[in-house]
Chains A and B, each alone.
Chain A
Amino acid sequence: MPLPFVLTPNYLSLASQIAITALFALSLDLILGYAGIVSLGHAAFFGLGAYTAGIISTYGWGEPLSGLVIGAAVAGLVGYGASFVIAHFRHLALIMITLGMGLLLHEAANSASWLTGGADGLQGVNIWPLFGAFKFDLWGRTAYVYSLVVLFLIFLAARRLIHSPFGLSLRGIRENPLRMPAIGAPSRAHLREIYTIAAVIAGVAGALLAQTTSTVSLEVLSFQRSADVLVVLILGGAGRLYGGILGAIIYMVARDQFSGVNPQYWYFWIGLLLVAVVIFLPNGILGGLARLRATWRRAAS
């Protein structure tokens, strides 16, 4: 962990945003990779966490850790409510309902500009130094350590969850999504629980973004953000827990490098990257690597 400090002190801001994206992708993996719920509106919980953490700081309470918890709680509460609807639907209807709910929340936030600052973004966000001592500074040091530690802790918790009896009952869709109904799809109650947990984690990621950048704007709730995190997860490989982290690193580094070289047309190369990954590495990068490993093993034996 200290290595990046030494090697790349100038990339800490990017690193913290990668960590936040990875955490967000991890939360999506829990519902997509493990419970088979495809959501195009997951940014709703990210945005709820971000706005909550931001708004309470504008009202005078800027302590980061408690802000994080409150943001996560709000996201989780809304997620719990939404889960009652989500658990009833599948396939395209589910995708579009999640999309619709995400878009509705985005509209609501735009209308409630007295609360959210509307299209100009939330103004007056003031986050206190972490533990009273570490200010969120220009170099991004505090932000980096903060995001990384939170990601690490939640990742450990998620791993424990996946290997618990509850997690096993969710059945990863690792190899083949068609297999799921055959081995017994998870019960509605279990779906609601995992959806709520995923909402909480997405809320944490959002709150982290608000706190480390001291900005919140409507795009945290946007379709763009929901689509981006889906791309990141599929790129890394869903249902493998590490996929979100890998996908986040690759996507954001690629984006950063491509747009540095060619600010106007970099997304052409990103598109090409995505197409190449699908053709040559189905099931994401981790999926492709797993298959490679299996082939080697077979060749070796």
Chain B
Amino acid sequence: MLGPIVGVLFDGLAYGMLLFLLSVGLSVTLGMMNFINLAHLSFGMLGGYVTVTLMDGLGWPFLATLPVAFVAGAVASLVLERVLFRRAYRASDLDQCLLTIGIVFMSVAAAAYIYGTVQQPVQLPSYLTGSVTFLSVNFALYRLFLIATALVITGVLVAALEWTRFGAQVRAAVDNQRMARGLGISVDGVFAIAFALGSGLAGLGGALAIAMVGLDPAFAFAYLVYVLIVVSVGGLGTIWGSFVAATLLGISDMAGKYYIPELGSFLIYLVMVGLLMWRPAGLFGRR
């Protein structure tokens, strides 16, 4: 009896890890600079399409495309930040929403134009397909890979935050921007780098997502809601927040669908509304 639910929870954890990779950048960006970047998943989509292009067009192996997807997301965000976003830091929340929604529209149209509207298939290398059976529970190899990758990245992020100077600067900027500036920290520079890292992770997430949830031009919109849920439930400007929230949501979504499938999507929205009513600033948020 334990077997099936373990399998389901494992899959839920993998899904949660994917959401984490896609969301962590947005959480840090929102917490640090209060800049509402609804185009965050456009970088995710970019990463996905980069992987597809490299694999289909140039025959690269899957794993080799992942760092490129990360870099693509990072570079794209640096460019966009410099050219466009910088001018909107002082703008109202609503204007930032409008600006970034405009960018999502443009990116979705561009993706449709370049790659067509068709769903992008990706063929994983054989060592990542199939599953292993352990104690009569099926563990998909790809999901194991995903979880492992996400855990490693989380470890690196947390370590960087705690033990590097850059990490200290990031923490300072999130805690109190004015103070940080006063202390001589180049908040703009710190933000630009953090933004790039976050978008790079989104790009990586997008590339990893293809084999799990597919890729087409609608990606940038379709997963925005889930990412917003993770970020708001987890709290702004916190890596742990995104991690816990993503895991919680992934697992509760799966468990809900296993035990009470009639509830379907209800559960994830109910959980979100409930958690936010209990803790409006998110589980690990401030304010």
Contact = CB atoms under 8 A, between A and B. Distances in A.
Interface of A: 32, 38, 85, 89-93, 95-97, 99-101, 103-104, 107, 111, 176-177, 223, 227, 230-231, 234-235, 238, 264-268, 270-275, 277-279, 282-283
Contacts of A100: 229, 269-270, 272-273, 276
A271 B93 CA distance: 18
A107 B101 contact: no
A290 to B, nearest CB: 14
A177 B93 contact: yes
B280 A275 contact: no
Contact of B269 (A85, A103, A274, A277): A103
Nearest to A40: B228
A27 to B, nearest CB: 16
B269 A278 contact: no
A268 B97 contact: no
B109 A265 contact: yes
A239 B252 CA distance: 40
B128 interface: no
B280 A271 contact: no
B76 to A, nearest CB: 15
Given A93-B276, A265-B109, A271 B98 contact: no
A275 B93 CA distance: 14
Interface string B7-29: 00000000000000000000000
Given A268-B109, A278-B88, A234 B272 contact: no
Contacts of B272: 96, 100
A268 B110 contact: yes
Contact of A96 (B88, B266, B276): B276
B266 A107 contact: yes
Contact of B93 (A38, A103, A231, A264): A38
A275 to B, nearest CB: 4
A279 B87 contact: yes
6 contacts: A85-B277, A100-B272, A265-B113, A268-B113, A271-B103, A274-B99
Nearest to B271: A100
Nearest to B235: A92
B264 interface: yes
B106 interface: yes
Contacts of A227: 101
A279 B88 CA distance: 7
B84 A107 contact: no
A230 B97 contact: yes
Interface string B34-53: 00000000000000000000
Contact of B95 (A92, A266, A283): A283
B99 A275 contact: yes
B194 interface: no
Given A100-B273, A283-B92, A235 B98 contact: yes
Contacts of B280: 89-91, 93
Contacts of A235: 98
A271 B276 contact: no
A179 B287 CA distance: 19
B58 interface: no
